[in-house]
Amino acid sequence: MTILVIVLFFVFLLIGIPISLVLGMTTVLYFLLVGSPVLLESTPMRLYSGLENFGLLAIPLFMLAGELMNSGGITTRLVKFSKTLIGHVRGGLAYVTIISNMFIASILGSANAQAAMMSKVMVPEMEREGYKREFSSALTLASSIVAPIIPPSMIFIIYGTLSGTSIGGLFMAGIIPGIIYGLGFIGLIAFMGYKYNFPKSERSSFKEILHHGLYVIPALSVPFIIIFGILSGAFTPTESAAVACFVALIVGMFLYKELKLKNIPKLLMNTVISTATVTFLIAMANIFGWMIAFEQIPQLVADGMLSISENPLVFLLMVNLMLLLLGAVLDGIAALIILIPVLMPLVVAFGIDPIHFGVIICINLTIGLLTPPVGTGLFVVSSIADVKIEKLIKATTPFLLMGIFILMIITYWADAVLFIPRMLGF
């Protein structure tokens, strides 16, 4: 019975049915094949209970904050400020792309949204400066993977909700890995800039740097308020999302004066659509996880991995290899929701810190945005930047390899992830 359900799951995926529907259809078919009316009758209740979590309220609020900041001119000011600082060095605009993505990651928290937005902004700008379009597109896509690492992070919220791990602790744990990724990509750009003789812009005057620096302070206030509020205990991560929306509205509407009242309905509609997509997926994945638990698959997987090795370092290596393969064929959030019920008992058994494991799994699945054949980031950037997918894949390969290398460092250097959470008592 289990084998038949697994086969149906992959058949549905291969014929192009959305993953959320695949999860629901597979579960219902399984219950029908089992012939248990009790399971079918309990399914609607399970769908609803999967969404009864206060932490999930942060998802639409952070999505709305990102929409408000993007429409309010905040993101463009972050890019301009980065350009005045380092645009004059060789490959300066490539560095600007990375640093701007790190700034904006602390606002959006969604890699796909960030890749789409930055492709519109940076790819044409870099092409005008003399960079190849496929390289510009690849750099923009690769830089966007820091979005789910630097707080706030949508994928951290989902992981924390499903695993019972502190969302605030996960937010703090993402800071150092996010910086490491930024430095890793900067080092790669420095090497490539020397090798391929990247162009450079004119040096900005002190007056221009001061001007853009003052204008960017309100934009940087949003991530500062989020992090300071959580650390001080003034509000929870969910409440910080509401505060971020309010601050983004004030900054965009009254300070930068680019956010108009007529734009608000469209922003709300975009938020509703994005939120509905994620929450529907979570609800469907909840009943799928219920089916997995009913079949005792987590116990079988745990016994299988424990029979191979009882060393937590070997377990983490196996998990990384499995997630890198899954990330190439399955959407990151969907994979996260499916795997958490399977892997968390193992995390406990091996004595691994759930915050450290959360950072590993979230980074790993985010790297899947860069990996063919199903890397959604590849298709998003390919469409927006008008680059052939095969050229984009080739240009992305060095960044993908760097991303995997840094993932291994973060996997086996737990202190890099846990230093700030431990210092703050998480």
pLDDT for position 328: 66
- Cβ-based neighbours of 328, under 8 Å, separated by 6 or more: 368, 371, 372, 373, 374, 375
Tell me the two tokens of residue 67: 């929409």
- Residues of the chain under the 50 pLDDT cut: none
pLDDT for res 2? 65
Q: Where are the alpha helices (DSSP H) in 368-388?
A: 376-385
Please give the structure tokens belonging to residue 342.
Answer: 């399977």
Cis ω before 199 (30° cut-off from 0): no
Tokens of 422: 């431990």
Domain ranges in the chain are 1-49, 50-423
Q: What is the CA radius of gyration of the chain?
A: 22
Cα–Cα distance list, 159 to 286, 334, 365 (Å): 13, 11, 12
Q: In the prediction, which pLDDT does 411 show?
A: 92
Task: Please tell me the predicted confidence (pLDDT) of residue 190.
Answer: 85
pLDDT tens for 320-371 read 888 877 766 666 676 777 778 778 888 888 889 999 999 998 888 788 777 7
Instruction: Give the Cα separation of 383 and 378 in Å (integer).
Output: 8
Predicted model pTM: 0.72
How far apart (Å, rounded) are the C-alpha atoms in residues 386 and 375?
Answer: 17
Tell me the one-letter amino acid at 300: L
DSSP notation for 182-202: HHHHHHHHHHHHHHHT----P
Q: What is the reported pLDDT for 293?
A: 67
Cβ-contact 364, 327 below 8 angstroms? yes
